[in-house]
Amino acid sequence: MPITRESAPVTVDGFELRVLHLPLVSPFTTSFGTESVREVMVVRALTADGDGWGEIVTQAAPLYSSEYTESAWDVATRWLIPSLLERRTIAGEQVGGILEPFKGHRMVKAGLELAVLDAGLRAEGRSFAEYLGAERDRVPSGVSVGIQESPAALVETVAGYLEQGYVRIKIKIKPGRDVADTAAVREAFGTIPLQVDANSAYTLADIEMLAELDAFDLLLIEQPLQEDDIVDHATLAGRVRTPICLDESIVSHKATLDALALGAASIINIKAGRVGGYLEAVRIHDTCRAAGIPVWCGGMLETGIGRAANAALAALPGFTLPGDISASDRFYTQDIVTEPAVLEDGHVRVPTGPGLGVEVDLAALGAVTVAREVVRA
Ligand code: SMG
Ligand code: MG
C-alpha cells in the first residue's frame, strides 16, 4: 500500500535565498574538476507559523549537471518563487505540481519544495523522517573519496576514513586514474565494501578498460558514461560483470523506469536535488523497491540542512546500500546547523525533531553568506 503523505499547508509571505561559500577541509577532486570551497544555496520559506529551510545543491559551475548558482538564482527569483507566492497558501505536496510547467531546474525545485515541507511539518510538530516513512533511526555511512595525487596518497586517505569507521568507500575515477587506483585500495584493505564513481568520464570506446574493473569485486560502478547515454549504459551492462549504477542519468521517476526497462542499470543512486525533490525521490524508491532494485542515497556535499533530509530519506526500507551520507566534518569545519551530523559506530543518526530536526545556526550562516535576497508576496 503506498503511503499517503500530507503535510500542513502554510501561508508563505516570502522566500529568502542565500548563496553560501563553505571552505572544504580538503580539496575534492572528481573527473570534472577540483573544489576547495563549496558554493551552494539555501532557501528559507517565511511564514506566519514559522520558517522552513531547504537546500539547493547546485555548484558554482555547470560541471556535474547543467544547473549552477546563477541559473538557480535567476529561475528561482524570476519564475519559480513568484509562481509559488501567487498561490500563497501551499502544502509541500503541491509544490511539484505548481512548478511543473517550468522545464528542468530540478535542484531549485527540490530546495523550494523542501523549504515548504519543512515549514509545514515544523508547524505540525512532525518529523520529516516520519513523514517520508523512515523505518530506521540511523543509517550506515559511506564516504566519497576524491581523486588524490597518487594511488599511494589515495590509500593513505582511505585509511583515515576507515579508521574513523566509515562502512563503505567510494573512490572517484577518471581516465588514467582508474585501474591502478582501484587496485591499490583493494590490495591495501582486502574485502572492504568498495565502489567507484566516474561522473560520466568514459565512452563505449573504453569498454575493455571498464571490464578490467571486474577483477576488483566492486559493489558497483557509478555513472561511467554520459548523462544521456542510457542505451550505451545498457550495452556496457551486458559486457561487464560489475553492476552499473546510474547517478546523473536519473533525473526523474520516468528516467528511472526507462533505465530499468532498457537494462541500463541494476542499482540506482537517488539524489533528491537531481530528481526535483524528496517526494520524487520517494517515488523512485518505491518503484525500485517493488522491482527488487537496490537504491542508495547520493550526496552533494550538503550542509546540515540537506544532510538531515538525506538521512531521513535513506532511512526508508529500500535503501539497502550505504549512502554518501558522511559526518559533516568530512567536508566542513563549521557547518550551518547547531548539531551537525556525526559518525557513531559507522552510522549517522536520523533526526527526530519537528521538520528536518536541525536548527540553523544563524550566526554561522551569516558568516558564510555571500549573497542574500528576500522575494516577498
Ligand atoms: O556529499 O559525500 C558527498 C559527496 C558525494 O561524490 C559525491 N557526489 O557524483 O556522486 C557524485 C558526487 C557529486 C558531487 S559534485 C558537487
Ligand atoms: Mg556520482
**Cβ-contact 323, 310 below 8 angstroms:** yes
Cell of 208: 575493455
Kindly report the backbone phi and psi dihedral angles of residue 56, in degrees, each rounded to the nearest multiple of 5, phi listed first: -110, 110
Task: Reply yes or no on whether 170 is catalytic.
Answer: no
Domains 10-125+360-376 and 130-349 share a fold: no
- Ligand 1 atom with the smallest distance to the CA of 63 is 15
Residue 236: pLDDT over 90: yes
d(CA 149, CA 335): 27
Residue 259: pLDDT over 80: yes
CA angle 24, 109, 307 (to 5 degrees): 35
Share of the chain above pLDDT 70, in %: 99
Residue 252: pLDDT over 70: yes
Residue 11: pLDDT over 80: yes
* Residues 361-370 pLDDT 10s: 999 999 999 9
Cell of 104: 528542468
Which residues are CB-neighbours of 273 under 8 A, at least 6 positions away? 55, 56, 57, 58, 106, 107, 110, 111, 300, 306
* Residues 56-83 pLDDT 10s: 999 999 999 999 999 999 999 999 999 9
* Residues 162-211 pLDDT 10s: 999 999 999 999 999 999 999 999 999 999 999 999 999 999 999 999 99
Q: What is the pLDDT of residue 197?
A: 98
**Cβ-contact 204, 225 below 8 angstroms:** yes
Predicted confidence band at 2 (pLDDT cuts at 50, 70, 90)? low
Distance 65 CA to ligand 2 centre (A): 11
Cell of 24: 572544504
Predicted confidence band at 4 (pLDDT cuts at 50, 70, 90)? confident
Q: Does the C-beta of 67 come closer than 6 Å to ligand 1? A: no
Going by C-alpha positions, the residue among 154, 149, 299 that lies closest to residue 222 is 299
Measured from the alpha carbon of residue 197, the closest ligand is 2
Going by C-alpha positions, the residue among 298, 261, 260 that lies closest to residue 30 is 298
Rounded mean pLDDT of the chain?
Answer: 97
User: Could you tell which of 30, 65, 267 is best to mutate to test the pocket of ligand 1, judged by most ligand atoms within 8 Å of the CB?
Assistant: 30
Q: Does the C-beta of 51 come closer than 6 Å to ligand 1? A: no
* Residues 318-355 pLDDT 10s: 999 999 999 999 999 999 999 999 999 999 999 999 99
As a whole number of Å, the end-to-end CA separation of the chain is: 38
Q: In the chain, what are the domain boundaries?
A: 10-125+360-376, 130-349
Options 103, 170, 172, 174, the catalytic residue: 172
Task: Reply yes or no on whether 172 is catalytic.
Answer: yes
Q: What is the pLDDT of residue 298?
A: 98
- The structural architecture, per CATH, of the domain 130-349 is Alpha-Beta Barrel (3.20)
Paired strand residues for 369: 20
Q: What is the mean pLDDT of residues 300-321?
A: 98
Q: Does the C-beta of 328 come closer than 6 Å to ligand 1? A: no
Q: Does the C-beta of 357 come closer than 6 Å to ligand 1? A: no
Q: Does the C-beta of 326 come closer than 6 Å to ligand 1? A: yes
**Cβ-contact 121, 107 below 8 angstroms:** no
Distance 62 CA to ligand 2 centre (A): 15
Distance of CA 195 to the CA centre of its chain: 17
CA nearest ligand 1 atom 7, residue: 299
Q: What is the pLDDT of residue 1?
A: 52
CA nearest ligand 1 atom 9, residue: 199
Paired strand residues for 16: 44, 374
Fold of the domain built from segment(s) 10-125+360-376: Enolase-like; domain 1 (3.30.390)
**Cβ-contact 84, 90 below 8 angstroms:** yes
d(CA 248, CA 270): 10
* Residues 267-279 pLDDT 10s: 999 999 999 999 9
CA nearest ligand 1 atom 16, residue: 300
Q: Does the C-beta of 64 come closer than 6 Å to ligand 1? A: yes
